[in-house]
Structure 1
């Protein structure tokens, strides 16, 4: 007669959907500036906002603390404030991945179906620039700033996705690389800055559409390096103000 052994029931799987929702919600708010560097994150407020329990919120915060996006405090978590070297490291990694990706994308000539959303994002930037000119205000604020950051981030994300390198996309996803870059503090999104971004995106997309691989890689590399210089200038200015230099 076969001997039977009692087995404890397998634990039920956790609600991974709620965890993914919480994580993406936090990352999106960091990326669009709603949660700037140094901002305190409340489990209760996030759970209420999303209509879920605090457990997946706590898990998402724990993940993002482990990844360096957040810092643990006695009262919970705050959005991490990057060092100067953090900024340089992020941009060097970004340039290596994005320039390689766009070379592949431009070399394979994107279809009209794939170019359409990219064109839409460039047009969104053009509209934002035009609206800022008309407003007479010195820099983007509020919802207009969120629109700009979202369009800028999505443009770069779509180009990376178009390369079709799944391993590279997993690296980008696991490190939240682009969100880290776009969440870096910036003093002001002035008309000069947003116009510069629009014109770079327009020229980059034109080169991609024409299959001009070398031109696309050169323009994107220049765009990223110039952005790094601007981010470092903003960081240095903030440090001088903070320390009274």
Structure 2
């Protein structure tokens, strides 16, 4: 596994071919989030193909985490599923819990063309890994195409305004494409928000970041404005 996180003042967040050069024969597995968490950055299909080829050359298993990808309007063109036939060793992680707000259900699945790997995963897992209720919830969610489209449109519409509002408060905000935003604030920012009843995700436990970095979701206009109002009070 390679732990890779690049954050530069002049180029906020970027996964470059430096990642490819960091891969070598001693690496067994490579994880890539699409979009990245917490930056929200998306890599291109061309880069994904280069990564898959480099993993094959190094005999490393590529694992693409797409649990946040379905929030993007262009999720179908961005998914690595198009590479499964060409790279059967590819593993893709998907989840219902994010887009469909079913975190407590803990429902997800794996896509791969490596039948032996999938069989080994089944053997290593719990006998009843997914309950019948979780399965029913997942099947029902698949019919909620109108809801999913609404969520994607809402986030795409609200993200630019949320970025502009956070920057107007003097915060450094990274340009991401996910349903969340990574920003830099004073060290005590999170605690001061909690005192006023608001919570944002502290990102100090991410490699390469410290306790001045936070992540917040892009939500409804009313929820976004409520959070921004509290932020203004904290930062004034």
* TM-score w.r.t. length of structure 2: 0.28
* TM-score w.r.t. length of structure 1: 0.27
More relative contact order, 1 or 2 (CA 8 Å, 6+ apart) = 1
Structure having the larger proportion of residues in strand: 2
Structure having the larger proportion of residues in helix: 1
